[in-house]
Amino acid sequence: MPPIVVQKLRTGMGAIPHTSGVAFRVWAPNADAVQVIGSFNDWSPDSHPMIKEDGGCWYVDIAVAAIGDEYRYRIVNGDKQLSRLDPCARQVVNSIGNAVVHDPQFDWSGDDFHLPPINELVIYEMHLGTFHDTKEGGTNSFEETLQKLDYLKQLGVNVIEVMPLAEFGGFTSWGYNPSCIFAVETNYGGPVAFKRFVKAVHEAGIGVILDVVYNHFGPSDLDLWQFDGWSENGLGGIYFYNDWHSETPWGATRPDYGRGEVRQFIHDNAMMWLEEYHVDGLRLDMTLFMHNVRGNGDPGCNLPDGWSLTQWINREVHEKYPGRITIAEDMQTDNRITQPVDQGGAGFNAQWGARFVHPIRAAVIVAADEHRSLDSVRQALEGGYNGDPFQRVVFSESHDEVANGKARVASEIDPQNPDSWFAQKRTTLAAALVLTAPGIPMLFQGQEFLEDGWFQDSVPLDWHKSEEFSGLVRMYRDLIHLRLNRSDSTRGLCGSGLNTFHQNQADNVIAYHRWYQGGAGDDVIVVVNLSHSAHTNYQLGFPSAGLWRLRLNSDWKGYSVAFGGQPCSDVDIPIVRNGEVPEPIISQRDGFPVQGTINIGPYSVLIFSRDK
């Protein structure tokens, strides 16, 4: 038997490469014996037995092992002999294959990217398996996606949110069925390719937020299941609850948040993405099922250990990685999710805004104008958490909202002809509401070029549409340009100030004032016509006299040949002189001291502001 070389106890879990070999540590408290088998010992179960440590971990340091070697753990429990993937493997051959000793070293020199302030983020959600053009599998999706980096830069988004990348069961997936949460999906290119991807995206001035899944694991291709041979009630063993708390909508695979080793496992995974991959934030999938068994708000089903785990993760992120953000998908409009940990909250920076997406989609999807509710639109615009609108992410499309029985907004509007005039006009209404509302706006891949149908993890985006509907892409680009105040004339769209000052249900016109600090170059007026009829010589209040320049008219023919090009212009509210002091002509309207006259096309948005 080759000698076991133990120079010193190495810290960490999984495979730990060092200058004279590789150390291995695995948690298997109920095992009678554990061995490391791999390509370095011809998969011999007798070559490298592990030594049991206090706390149920097993350890060995193997001089003949090296980076790139494949390995597994052989676990003996009574008469059971189990072959298991390393739960902490950074790289695997696939979800049912072997683990690979991964080289943790990577050249991050020059990567000094920092996210913009939270009120200046525009998120673009993408799925690595379908964002690029390639229809055949097995490609490096990270490299394919980087070929579209110039497109994203021109669009103007400044952070991408990537759907889960942890190794999943099967060849294609949304990613919400993680098998090996520390390994990067092999079909996408693996861990080194992801590091190169993050560095390149950062060099382009764009941040990366990663979706992670801690509300359940698997349920398929899951070596964590009964990992060391022990379980109760036929359930999952040491990594999972072994009673009714295990049940989730995705199977009986809820991690045991009350067990210290499992808490550490999940915590360390969250920190790994920030430390080893330099991601700029994490979006935790369906956190509701981390702190409530049934997801129904029943206090008897609460999981205090899940709540405290999210608090721990958020506290560590904010302390160790200032400037990076965490986002929750909780969808229950619970203020506590984004309250600070020291106030009893979960400590997330933001959460997905359920009270925005559903009423906005309803307002643009419903066929009859008389059924559109401006009250619902106003309430959606005015939402937020703990008095802060930037504690919410606002959107009209996401991976959840365009699947599971729902489709893209264009297909919901006109299922038979999703590129019709109605579909084009009303999808852009939704987009304009997203990009002018207070909150963190988010787009879902392809909505800017009228992608239709529903999201499928096996169907790549139809990039021909980006050329066919290049005018719509330009509209999104212009909206993002205004949103981020690129011309130094619409600062108010980065602010939290909102006054929905005009609401005309009869004509389906709603208008709102946005501001950061107020004044010229800051105040923004957004007018939205949710009617199929144009309105001419329409009277509206304005915050002050002067020249209000038209920054965007969504009815412009340059955005689509189908659009009407309703004549619109700047609004010039004159000032008269009374002696030496200029004064506006007083004509109060909508709570403002002056009024102006506008023309607005059907299903259109106008955006006005004043030059500095």
Percent of residues, the chain, with pLDDT higher than 70? 96
pLDDT tops 90 at residue 129? yes
Question: How many residues make up the chain in this entry?
Answer: 612
Mean pLDDT within 177-189: 97
Q: Identify the CA nearest to 449 among candidates 463, 439, 431.
A: 463
pLDDT tops 70 at residue 57? yes
pLDDT tops 90 at residue 108? yes
Residue that has been written with the tokens 């294959």 in this structure:
97
pLDDT band at residue 300, thresholds of 50, 70 and 90? confident
pLDDT band at residue 565, thresholds of 50, 70 and 90? confident
Q: What is the pTM of this model?
A: 0.95
Mean pLDDT within 172-185: 96
pLDDT digits (tens, 9 = 90+) for 194-230: 999 999 999 999 999 999 999 999 999 999 999 999 9
CA distance 450 to 467: 11
Mean pLDDT within 29-54: 97
pLDDT tops 60 at residue 106? yes
pLDDT digits (tens, 9 = 90+) for 309-320: 999 999 999 999
Ramachandran category for residue 56: left, alpha or beta (phi over 0 → left; psi -120 to 50 → alpha): left
Res 6: pLDDT: 45
What integer best gives the mean pLDDT of the chain? 94
Res 585: pLDDT: 56
Res 575: pLDDT: 73
Residues 6 or more apart whose Cβ sits within 8 Å of residue 343: none
Res 482: pLDDT: 98
191, two tokens: 């861990």
Res 299: pLDDT: 84
SS3 110: coil
Pairing relationship of beta strands 21-27 and 14-18 according to DSSP bridges: antiparallel
Classify burial at 111, counting beta carbons within 10 Å of its beta carbon; exposed 0-12, middle 13-18, buried 19 or more: middle
pLDDT band at residue 577, thresholds of 50, 70 and 90? low
pLDDT tops 90 at residue 53? yes
Res 139: pLDDT: 61
Buried residues in 384-407 as b, exposed as e (16+ CB within 10 A) = bbeebbbbbbbbbbbbbbbbeebb
Res 5: pLDDT: 46
Mean pLDDT within 501-517: 98
pLDDT band at residue 578, thresholds of 50, 70 and 90? low
Q: Cα–Cα–Cα angle for 64, 70, 71, nearest 5°? A: 80
Res 538: pLDDT: 96
pLDDT digits (tens, 9 = 90+) for 384-420: 999 999 999 999 999 999 998 999 999 999 999 999 9
Res 143: pLDDT: 93
447, two tokens: 């909505």
Res 580: pLDDT: 53
pLDDT tops 70 at residue 1? no
Domains of the chain: 14-84 (2.60.40.10), 496-609 (2.60.40.1180)
Beta carbons of 401 and 361 less than 8 angstroms apart? yes
Q: Cis peptide before 219, with omega less than 30 degrees from 0?
A: yes
Beta carbons of 570 and 548 less than 8 angstroms apart? yes
pLDDT tops 60 at residue 359? yes
pLDDT band at residue 582, thresholds of 50, 70 and 90? low
What is the per-residue DSSP string for 401-423? TTSTT---HHHHH-SS-TTSHHH
pLDDT tops 80 at residue 250? yes
